Structure 1
Amino acid sequence: MRISDIFRKKSKDAFLDAIAQSMDKDIERMKNGMSADLSSLSSIPTFDEDKVLESVFDNIGKRRAQRRRTLYRTAAAALLLIVGGVFGYIAWHQGAVEYDEIYARRGEKLIVILADGSRVNLNSDSRLRYPRKFTGSERRVTLEGEGFFEVSKDKSHPFYVDCYDMEVKVTGTRFNVNAYPDNSQIVTTLYDGHVSVGCKTTPEDSRNALLPGEEAIYARSTHDLKVQKTDNISLDDLWSKQVINVQDMRLEQLLRILERQYGVTFHIKNNAIRKYTYNITCDAANLQDVFDVMQTITPVHIKKVANRKYEIR
């Protein structure tokens, strides 16, 4: 490409054109072994230095103004993103549900009052997760362990208790759920009102409905559920009233209940006694009273060996 072509692409100024044409001619002369013709410079048009400088500074100013406009547009776009992000975060944060979790340690019982006025008596070694404020079309909590629920009535906002892969649905009633992680079954006992119980994957209209005085026994391994009548349904026999009420319960299972409720530990020294079963209804305010009943029913001996530690043989 000729130098004059390069300059013409960048400028139409006659002065630059003249210089470019002169340079092209001199290059051709030097290729042929001739010297440059300086006389050709006399034909180059004159120019006004002040106008050239003015044009240069004007171009610089335009470029700076263009940069400023670009910067302003970029800043405005960034500001819109920031403002939009802030409002989006606020909207998300306001819509997000905040949860609390409470744990009743072994030997401890707690009462939790939920945002809708519902009351939960939480048994020892039990955990309840619940929203600080109920939003949406339902009220839902998660239980691990045992809890007695007194749910405020609100038919338009049903209340759910999640227990692993099972859930209990109510609109307002009193019921007990026993769902300790080391138990193979989840037992839901209805005292009054109405509940439906079933696996979460089962449609709600196909789940089992309970009547007062009935309990649902859900097998965690097979997802089978059976409903049966239960004796001693009075609230006076409930664990939350400091009463022990067990029916046909094996020794080891009874000892686990006592460990949770009183914060103690047992060590079985004689394997032969593991086969014993118990039917007990007694005041649970004093652990020694429970021991006395157990030792009356079966030939076991319970001895305290350290603080909160017992041997049974």
Structure 2
Amino acid sequence: MKKIALLTILLTTLAFASMNIDTTYATMGAVAKKIGGNLVKVTVLGSSKYDPHFIVPKPSLLAKLHRADLLIMNGAGLELGWLPPLLRQANNPRIRNGSKGLLDMSHYVPLIDVPKSVSRAFGDIHAQGNPHYSSDPHVVLIMAKAIEEKLVQLDPEHELTYESNYKNFTKSWNIYLKNFDANMKECKDKKVVQYHELFNYFLDRYNIKSYGTIEPLPGIAPSSKHTIALINIMRGNGVKLILQDVYHERKTAKFIAEKTGARVAIIPHELGADGSKTLQEFYNKIATRICQ
């Protein structure tokens, strides 16, 4: 009987799943599930355990993209190294550039760190600005609204359901943010360095100052000269926290920590990067590991 009941639930869920949504990364995927509910099936293309700039373009992703009704991408150049060739091979007119089935979230998020000029001499910079906005929990509200509007556009028959899901989610998320922001007031005077500028949106939101990066330039491996200079900066400014992501090498951060007495905190850049299963757990881990 239990098997029959489970099968019934599964079939019922599939019957209501009228839209296939692909998201390039997990945080957007979690928001899409909240807004779409039982009316959508969400597939996350990029693993959170790897560098988001260089997701391996596996053949299995082609089938997922081919059947997608909606593709939600981060944008701002973050997927430039892996998504375009997959889209060409997937041959899905619903999610081509300029189609209704493509949602570029960077068009809705106010981007920071926009470079005044673009040159290879500055490393792998993003011409449109820093694409790592998912670290800011307030951006979740922007994502939710953009996704709700897009779902209504593509599936107006279920407009009331999407609107209801959106209202319920944003109500609970605003309550979460109120408590989260109150707790983050204890961290406003923190000083940090990062490996890569993955957490600028979070740091800006909560007035935490970053004194530099372990990378001398975006996408460039650390050199001895730069590492020594960063150690001196940290000593001179009393920086005692290094934000290390899950996918870059950790040897350099460990060396710098030994020379400065700093603490190395492993910070997830996306939901699931270190095992987090919910949006709340993802952002709580960022806060806890920075503020402890």
- Structure ID, larger Rg: 1
The answer, yes or no, to whether TM exceeds 0.5 is no
Higher fraction of helix? 2
* TM-score bin, normalised by smaller chain: under 0.3
- Between the two structures, name the one with larger relative contact order (CA 8 Å, sep ≥ 6): 2
* Greater fraction strand: 1
